[in-house]
Structure 1
């Protein structure tokens, strides 16, 4: 009898240790799968103008091939419910996602739950959902999210975009209607969990200041990854503060963490007549990171290093990588971002692209 008990104990200990090894291996493999992402949400629209792109050697090459060859492994795309045209709507995003998957990219969708831009200041409820009873609104969030997961099957999905103030205002305002905010978030999260075992859920906060408050407010929610936006023009010029914040959030909430949006200029000049968002020295981190191709590269190199050195840090995403002056040099309604893309004014890939390689 004692021998049987001893054998049983040994067997249970073996299984326990083996399970720990499996969990450890899975955890280590996740850390190796560093996300080198870019957001190119407007590329389907821009590609209609047939721009020509060039690689480092000056050879004409397909845009998607250039970014793939230089280490980008994940593409982030915004998704609007019923936009004024087809761009960033369900059909375009679904079709583009299928194209990207055939080229080996992972898909990261940011659900705005709006017909237009949703961010920390604007969270406008889609027109067709406005005026619904709250129970019907929750059903709409669930059904819409379920459709996205089932038909596009993204690797990563954001429940909302830069939801500092909540989403689907006024229903889900985080300060004015906190219980409803949580219920709407749970509806979206439930739709993901019920329809996919693989899609990872990101909650996305814009900036550093207030981020601990926000992630404490959402600590009851079932999600996988903390996402932060970080732009020096809006979120401060201290990369040390960014690093400390990421470390503290990761340790406090025991979540994977990444930079969901960042960008930096390679010049303060312009290539069309659309006003650029960044155009002054006072908006930069100087003297460390001037608005030059190498300054842009060094900034992203530091962002990448911070993320890799953060406990549970898993990657970063460069926003607006595709926003060249695609309507021509005289356009007043094209790109406010052409000095922050990953391509110069001749559409040749910039040195910053080398930082997307995972050594």
Structure 2
């Protein structure tokens, strides 16, 4: 019930932001009728961005504009920059409701209405999941391994069913976020934000690879039940170092884990040329070893060197596409102000306007 209430509040907040007025809260509110189908070219190379922060940024008074200063909603702005796809993360029961299923619905409907393709990124946590921390949602802490499998399936189906009921087409689904070291591993976070004790029934890649594969498969099967044609991504970080991905996909093969696409992150920084070349080379290495196409699910560069960022992105998009086995490239949170959320500096906007870095998506 709490989650449903959060969803309604988020939807009404979005109405305020998008329409300028709102009715009084209505406890009997139901979502609008599904949006009309939009013709989308699903064979094209995906050029996209994860803009999951957008509704939170709007609530804090941030606005977005073209390079010429024309104010525009962020999703629509991404489309004018040459992007055809949007990626959105999902948390189970997040503080404040951001990236909850209701918040995701608001953002997904915007993308759908614009004819943009959609990737949903399940973290299976109440907060950030990454290689260093994969914290089990608070409501799942007392579950055994079978219970966690069921919780993954139920949560996945719940979120995707909500999107489908609202006419949203989902093309790709990440089962876990940067699961380089496994998923659903930790019982809590320490005071300094690092991962706490590891669960005995967790899905650590080294401590319990069988559970990791089982949780991944539970998510995979749930996705296919709601969106049979959606492609399921298993996502790892450090795309320039092939051993990290190799460890994950060897384990999934050994224990029967299911997936369709290999997802990589790439944050190359100053040494971008050699690291980006390595990442592009790894696309073919991984395809040849595992027989699955690759998606660059996250990429980012320092916001204050836009010319270099554009050069890197142009190289990555051009050369990854040329392999014939990369399906697309997604920039991670380009709209974020420099230093947002405690220090993120890899966005591609300056004062609410896109920098030249994002011109690479038009080329």
TM range (shorter): 0.7 to 0.9
| C-alpha contact 1:258 1:307 (8 A) present in aligned 2 | no
Shift of 1:188: 0.9
The CA distance in 2 between the partners of 1:261 and 1:133, in whole Å, is: 32
Alignment of 1:69-148 (within 5 A): 69-148=80-159
The CA distance in 2 between the partners of 1:151 and 1:253, in whole Å, is: 33
Q: Deviations over 1:326-346 (max 9, x none)?
A: xxxxxx874523x432221x3
- The equivalent of 1:184 in structure 2 is 215
The CA distance in 2 between the partners of 1:349 and 1:307, in whole Å, is: 23
- The equivalent of 1:311 in structure 2 is 324
| C-alpha contact 2:213 2:251 (8 A) present in aligned 1 | no
Question: Does 1:212 pair with 2:246?
Answer: yes
What is the TM-score normalised by the length of structure 2?
Answer: 0.76
The CA distance in 2 between the partners of 1:63 and 1:168, in whole Å, is: 32
Shift of 1:234: 11
The CA distance in 1 between the partners of 2:178 and 2:211, in whole Å, is: 18
- The equivalent of 2:18 in structure 1 is none
Question: Does 1:336 pair with 2:329?
Answer: no
Shift of 1:299: 0.9
- The equivalent of 2:281 in structure 1 is 244
Shift of 1:235: 9.6
Q: 1:321 aligned to 326, 334, 337, which one? A: 334
| C-alpha contact 1:251 1:311 (8 A) present in aligned 2 | no
| C-alpha contact 2:126 2:138 (8 A) present in aligned 1 | yes
- The equivalent of 1:23 in structure 2 is none
The CA distance in 2 between the partners of 1:61 and 1:295, in whole Å, is: 26
Secondary structure of 1:140's aligned partner: helix
The CA distance in 1 between the partners of 2:278 and 2:326, in whole Å, is: 16
Secondary structure of 1:198's aligned partner: coil
Secondary structure of 2:83's aligned partner: coil
The CA distance in 1 between the partners of 2:258 and 2:296, in whole Å, is: 20
Q: Deviations over 1:253-286 (max 9, x none)?
A: 121112111111241xxxxxxxxxxxxxxxxxxx
Give unmatched runs, 5+ long, in structure 1: 1-28, 268-291, 326-331
- The equivalent of 1:156 in structure 2 is 172
The CA distance in 2 between the partners of 1:61 and 1:55, in whole Å, is: 7
Secondary structure of 2:262's aligned partner: strand
The CA distance in 2 between the partners of 1:302 and 1:188, in whole Å, is: 33
- The equivalent of 1:56 in structure 2 is 67
Q: 2:224 aligned to 185, 193, 196, which one? A: 193
Change (3 A) 1:116 1:235: farther
Structure number, greater radius of gyration: 1
What is the TM-score normalised by the length of structure 1?
Answer: 0.77
- The equivalent of 2:183 in structure 1 is 167
Q: Deviations over 1:58-116 (max 9, x none)?
A: 33333222211121111111110011111111111122212221122222111000011
| C-alpha contact 2:303 2:349 (8 A) present in aligned 1 | no
| C-alpha contact 2:232 2:259 (8 A) present in aligned 1 | yes
Shift of 1:173: 0.9
- The equivalent of 1:278 in structure 2 is none
Alignment of 1:341-352 (within 5 A): 341-344=347-350, 346-352=351-357
- The equivalent of 1:25 in structure 2 is none
Change (3 A) 1:132 1:207: same
Shift of 1:47: 0.8
| C-alpha contact 2:203 2:215 (8 A) present in aligned 1 | yes
